């Protein structure tokens, strides 16, 4: 190393220069790509919702969304109503799928009646699906998903995703073998109260033949992520129970 690069003045100037250059570069990249990224995120939400109600291109073992380019059209075609439930009010909103669940969860903590709960009503092959978003935390970061139900709160399909769960372990919540286990599971207990679905370790029913046990088989090595899935299903889907009660009474 030459003497020039060892001086304090040089070091400080270099540090400042580095911060400016790298900062500008990152800010520029982020700002110029923002519209593209936002559009991708928007389309992904539509794909996720459609996936949960069974509109997807799944092959035998992997989860495949409908084509991105077709997502808006299919979304319009299959999703008949986008509802926003806020306290006792139910309104329609064509952009309900863009509601930030994380933010609404924070609002709900202070005042549950102010929380906006989006619910997407879809029709496929003459059957009605109710798709609700859920949001929670896994081992490292956020996890979220969409669950579609019928009017008796029996799960018709589920899609889970995560920000940074461990590859090969917790990250497997978005694999078919895990998500498909939820199909047909009952969210309500025997007496009609809300029970949720437990991602259970040491489940006596690994083939998942018993759909009314409110349990699916957990992933080995992903206990905390699995608990996160259990928790978000319990806390978020429970809020839709009154809606389904109303549905039945009317």
Partner 1 sequence: MGLLSKKDAKLITDPLADNNPITIQVLGICSALAITAELKASIVMAISVLFVLGVGNVVISLMRNIIPSKIRIIVQLTVVAALVIIVDQVLKAFAYELSKTLSVFVGLIITNCIIMGRFEAFALGNGPWKSFLDGIGNALGYGVILIIVGFFRELLGSGTLLGFKVLGDPIEKTGLYAIGYENNGFMLLSPMALIVVGIIIWVQRSRNKELIED
Binding stretches for partner 1 (CB under 8 A)? 1-2, 5-6, 10-11, 14-15, 18, 22, 25-26, 29-30, 33, 36-37, 40, 44, 61-62, 68, 161-169, 171, 206-207, 220-221
User: For partner 1, which is the closer residue by CB, 30 or 98?
Assistant: 30
Return the CA Rg of the chain.
22
Rounded alpha-carbon distances, angstroms, from residue 144 to 38, 101, 120, 226 = 18, 9, 16, 12
* Smallest separation, CB 209 to partner 1 (Å): 11
Task: Determine whether 180 is exposed, middle or buried from the number of CB atoms within 10 Å of its CB (0-12, 13-18, 19+).
Answer: middle
* Smallest separation, CB 55 to partner 1 (Å): 18
User: For partner 1, which is the closer residue by CB, 25 or 247?
Assistant: 25
CA atoms within 13 A on the CB side of 229: 32
User: For partner 1, which is the closer residue by CB, 71 or 153?
Assistant: 71
Sign of CA dihedral 86, 88, 93, 97: positive
* Smallest separation, CB 77 to partner 1 (Å): 22
Task: Name the residue with tokens 């969409």.
Answer: 146
* Smallest separation, CB 93 to partner 1 (Å): 25
User: For partner 1, which is the closer residue by CB, 181 or 198?
Assistant: 181
């Amino acid at each position: 190393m030459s003497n020039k690069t060892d001086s304090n003045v040089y070091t400080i100037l270099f540090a400042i220069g580095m911060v400016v250059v790298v900062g500008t570069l990152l800010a520029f990249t982020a700002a110029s790509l923002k519209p593209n990224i936002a559009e991708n995120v928007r389309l992904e939400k539509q794909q996720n919702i459609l996936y949960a109600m069974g509109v997807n291109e799944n092959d035998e073992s992997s989860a495949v969304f409908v084509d991105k380019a077709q997502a808006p059209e299919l979304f319009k075609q299959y999703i008949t109503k986008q509802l926003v439930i806020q306290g006792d009010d139910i309104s329609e909103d064509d952009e309900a799928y863009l509601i930030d669940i994380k933010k609404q969860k924070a609002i709900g903590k202070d005042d549950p009646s102010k929380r906006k709960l989006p619910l997407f009503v879809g029709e496929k092959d003459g059957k009605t699906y109710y798709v609700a978003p859920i949001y929670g935390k896994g081992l490292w970061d956020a996890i979220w998903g969409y669950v579609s139900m019928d009017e008796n709160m029996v799960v018709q399909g589920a899609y889970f995703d995560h920000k940074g769960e461990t590859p090969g372990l917790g990250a497997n919540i978005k694999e078919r073998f895990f998500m498909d286990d939820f199909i047909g599971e009952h969210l309500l207990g025997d007496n009609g109260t809300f029970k949720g679905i437990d991602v259970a370790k040491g489940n006596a029913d690994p083939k998942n033949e018993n759909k009314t046990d409110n349990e699916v088989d957990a992933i080995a090595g992903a206990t905390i992520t699995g608990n996160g899935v259990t928790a978000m299903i319990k806390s978020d889907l429970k809020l839709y129970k009154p809606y389904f009660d109303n549905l039945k009474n009317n």
